[in-house]
Each structure stands twice: as structure tokens, then as C-alpha cells.
A and B are shown apart, each in its own frame.
Chain A
Amino acid sequence: MKHKHIFIFTTSLLLLFTTLLQAQTALDTVNYKERYGLRVGVDLSKPLRTFLQEDYRGLEIMGDYRVYKNYYLAAELGNEQLPFEADNLRVTSNGSYFKIGADYNAYDNWAGMENIIFTGLRYGFATFSQTLEEYDIYTRNRYFPTHTVEGPFENSGLTAHWVELVVGLKVEILHNLYLGGNVQLKRMITQTSPNNLDNLTIPGFNRTYDDSSIGVGYSYNISYLIPLYRREKN
């Protein structure tokens, strides 16, 4: 339920950005030179979730570098403690992840603006541990009381590789300061699973599904553009 609330919040945030984007006025100049540089930022949703959700802890830094016209090199680096609770078991995964890829800006800016509405691709990699906190032995017959096994049982040295499709935007709210949001659709390539258990959550990938290799994610972030040079827009 909490997840759903965060979702609605993210969606409305994205809509707000779109409105912001359209409300901006253009600088009336001919042959305006666009700023190229490195944009570094931090995910805002993860500290917020750390505050709101018990057992969750997360931090992510990100950066993008404008390589050529509408193409950006992009990367994210993060660390998460991701709990998963079902009716009959509870696990926590803990670890770091790295995503690298590229963004393509599909938004044609007016002069003086470096906003982007982008689609991107990422390769994601995580190294983590998964701890089985407790579980029930599932029995259909209820004659004997439920047998709960108390952990924690830690499985370390796990890894996962996946690809991501990202869609989002970054809007300049103050000079060189950007507010951004995106949603991610992920697909698992390979993963090492613990013995006699599956990876129920993976840092950077979020929760997994038992009979699909698809994952989803979102981010809203604040970033700062370090302008390195200007190049004429043609």
C-alpha cells in the first residue's frame, strides 16, 4: 500500500515537471550556445523511503555527461537495504549496485534551457547479501501449530546483472539546478541465487517476481550541472 502511495506521488511529480517545463519562457537570442557539462545528483526518493519505511535504507548518487547533441552518458551508484515480507516469510537484501548507460534527449529546448525529456538504456550490476529473517513451514493441515523458524540466516556473495529501459525528465528549477524524475523497466539477465532460496529483492533492481524476470523502479532526484564548455546549437 505504501508503495502505491509513493507511486502516485511520483506520477504527480512527473506531471508537475511537465507543467513546469511548458511554463518556462525562452531567451530570445539567435545562435544561442548550449551548455555542455557534467550533471551530478542524488536520488531524493530513497532518503524519503528510508525515513518512511521501517527496515529500508537506501542512497543513490547519479551523474550524466552530455557527449554529443542529444546524447548523454549516464550512470548511477547506490546502496540499499531492501526488506521483503510475505505471509509466511521475511527476507532482507543488502548491497550495492552500479548502473551505466546512455540517455537520449527527445525534447527540443528553447534557447537558454537545458531541460531534457529522455529515454535511456542501462546495464545494471549488483553485489549483495540476502538474509532470511524468519519463515513458516507451510502446511495445508492445521492440526499442529504453525512452525516458525527464526533466523537470521545470511547468504552473502550474491550477484545480479540486468538491463533497464528508463523514461524520465530533468527540469532546471534554478540556475544549473535540476529536478528530475524517471521510471525504470528492468529485465534480469543472470543472477546467483542462494542455496534453497530465491532472491526476493535485489538492490537497484527492487523486488523480483517468482515467474517473471521483469522488475520496475522509479526515482526522483535533484542534480547540479557543472558547465564545462559551450557549443553552438544548430
Chain B
Amino acid sequence: MPRKKISITGICLLLISLVIISQGCQRDDICPESTSTTPVLNIAFFDVIETDVPKSPINLRVKAVDYDSIFVNRANQSTISIPLRTDVDITRYEFTINAPVLPAAGEEEVPLDNTNRDIITFSYNANRIYVNRACSYKVNYMDLQASLEAEENNWVQLIEVLENDIEVDFIENEAQTHIHIYH
């Protein structure tokens, strides 16, 4: 009889500890890096004449229209990845070449002689997709369109949309290019 009592107490303790372990070890509240979430838009810049030659815009500034903060300033690279808005189906960006250095606090910014700002409007359908309880929802951008706001002196010559649907944020560590900009 005492043996029976011991065994049942054992089962009790085992189950209690099992419950505590399962509660303590589950870490599904942090969204892991390996999980695909909302993708960014990958842009590659090319020469307008020799269209297969990558060409970096000189001192490129990227900033969303109506947003104060600058995404990147005076970048010299032939590819760039920018986020798109998830709350509306349109994102407008200013792409400025030969951008000036950011002025010190309180000072007015003086554009350079060759500073040239073009505005590109990206429109799409933002589809919300459930990922998991830690990563919540992501947005996939479907039917992407890009249009250049025409003005007297555009530095951007041509925009080519390669991928209409932006669904993954990375492919085997290699960024997939969605848009080519020729200049």
C-alpha cells in the first residue's frame, strides 16, 4: 500500500514539473530572424545607355515624401532597399542626387548647384498575411507599379518593374531585385 502511495505522488510531481517545464521553455513570443516578414523594395541602378552596366547615383539621398526623417543620405551604391508603407497602398519617395551634407541643428540646408530631386510613386495592393503569434502579420505588396513624376530636368530616365508581387523579404540570403532604375 505505501508503495502505491509513493508511485501516485511520483506521477503527480512528474506531471507538475512537466507543466512547469513546458511553460518555462516555450519562447514563441520573439519573432525569429529566420522568419519571413514584411519585405522591403530592392532597387538596382543602371546606366541608361549601357543598360546592363550597374551605375551608382552620386551622393544619393532617399526620403519619403511628407516624412521628416531621411532614410539614407549621400549614398554611393548601385543597389538600395527601401521600406514601403503598410497602412496605405501608395508610397512616395524623393530620390535626390548630389545631395548636400546634412546641416547642423538649427541651420538651413543649402542645395548644391547640381542637386537634383526626382519623385517616384510606388503603388500596390498591401495584402495582410498572418505569420505567427510572435511576428503577428506581414504585408505582401501585390501588383506593384512605379511612376516617375515628370519635370523639366529628371535625372531618372526610365523605371522598369521586374517583379510585380513582392512576397518574400529574402531569398537564400540573396536580395531579389524588384525594380531597375536607369539614369
Contact = CB atoms under 8 A, between A and B. Distances in A.
Interface in A95-109: 106-108
Contact of B16 (A11, A119, A137, A198): A11
Interface stretch (A35-43, A53-61, A83-91): A83-91
A214 B18 CA distance: 11
For the residues of A in contact with B, the DSSP-based class is mixed
Contacts of A197: 130
A107 B16 CA distance: 19
For the residues of B in contact with A, the DSSP-based class is mixed
B83 to A, nearest CB: 4
Contacts of A216: 19, 22-23
B20 A211 contact: no
B86 A144 contact: yes
A198 B19 contact: no
Contacts of B130: 196-198
Interface string A119-149: 1000000000000000111111101100101
A107 B4 CA distance: 7
Interface size class of A (residues with CB under 8 A): 35 or more
A183 B135 CA distance: 31
Interface size class of B (residues with CB under 8 A): 35 or more
A214 to B, nearest CB: 7
A14 B139 CA distance: 48
B23 A4 contact: yes
A141 B86 contact: no
Contact of A108 (B4, B83, B136): B4
Interface of B: 1, 4-5, 7-9, 11-12, 15-16, 18-20, 22-23, 26, 28-29, 31, 37-38, 40, 64, 67, 69, 71, 82-83, 85-87, 128-139, 169
Interface of A: 3-4, 7, 11, 14, 18, 84, 86-89, 106-108, 117, 119, 135-141, 143-144, 147, 149, 165, 167-169, 183, 185, 196-198, 200, 209-211, 214, 216, 218
Going nearest first, the 4 A-B pairs with the smallest beta carbon separation are A88-B136, A141-B83, A137-B86, A147-B87
11 contacts: A14-B12, A106-B7, A137-B138, A138-B31, A139-B86, A140-B37, A144-B64, A185-B19, A210-B134, A216-B19, A216-B22
